[in-house]
Amino acid sequence: MSSKTEQREPEHVQTLGHEEYDPIGTAILIGIYFLILVLLWIFMYFVEFLGNGPTVVGMALTVVGLA
C-alpha cells in the first residue's frame, strides 16, 4: 500500500509474509475462549432450568440441581 502504512519498528527482528505466518497461537486462544463460553453456558443451564427459583439464591447444591 501507500507510504501511509509503512512501518518502522525498532524491535523488528524478522519479517513474516502471508505465506510464512500461521496464527496457531490465535487459534489456541480463541479455542480457550470458546471452552470458557461453553462451560459458562452449561453452568447457566443448571442455574436457569434446574435451579429452584428464577434467580441464584440458596445453597450451591440446590442451584446446580443436586439437592
Partner 1 sequence: MRISKGALLVVVALLVPFVVEFRTALSWFGIKLTILESLALAGVLVIGLLLWAVWPENGNGGTGTADSS
Partner 2 sequence: MATSPPTEVTAMRNAYVDQFPDEARVIKAAFWSSFIALAIGGTLGLVQALHRTDVFRFIQSPDYYTVLTAHGVLLAITFTIFFLVGTFTWAVTTSLDRGVVDVRFTWAWYIMMVIGTVLVAIAIFSGFLESAPSVLGSELNADVLFTFYAPLEAHPIFYIGLVLFVVGSWLAGVDWFRTWLAWRSENPDERIPLPTFMVLTTTLFWYICTFGVALSILVFLLPWSLGITESVNPLLTRTLFWYFGHAVVYFWLMPAYMMWYIMLPKFSGGKLFSDPLARVVFVLFLLLSTPLGIHHQYLDPGIAEGYKFIAMTNTMFLLLPSLLTAFTVVASMEHGARQRGGEGYLGWLKALPWRNPIFTGMALAGLMFAAAGFSGMINAGMNINYLVHNTWWVVGHFHLTVGTAVALTFMAASYWFIPQLTGKELWNRSVALGQVLLWFIGMTFMSNAMHRSGLFGMPRRTAEPQYQGFDFEPAVGTVGEINMQVALGGVILTLSLALFLLNMIMTSIGDDSESIPDNTYAGTLSGAEDSPRILDNLKLWTAIAVVLVIIAYTLPLASIIDAGGLFGPGIEGVRLSTWVDPAVIESLGEVIR
Q: Which residues bind partner 1 (CB under 8 A)?
A: 10-11, 60, 63-64
Given partner 2, partner 1, none, residue 46, with its beta carbon under 5 to 8 Å by kind, binds: none
Cβ atoms of 63 and 51 within 8 Å: the answer is yes
- Measured at the alpha carbon of residue 40, what is the angle toward residues 35 and 44, in degrees to the nearest 5? 150
* Least Å from the CB of residue 19 to partner 1: 28
* Binding flag, residue 61, partner 2 (CB under 8 A): no
* Binding flag, residue 42, partner 2 (CB under 8 A): no
Please say whether the dihedral angle defined by the alpha carbons of residues 34, 37, 39 and 42, taken in this order, is positive or negative: negative
Distance of CA 38 to the CA centre of its chain: 9
Binding site for partner 2 (CB under 8 A): 1-18, 21, 23-26, 28-30, 33, 36-37, 40-41, 44, 48, 54-58, 60, 63
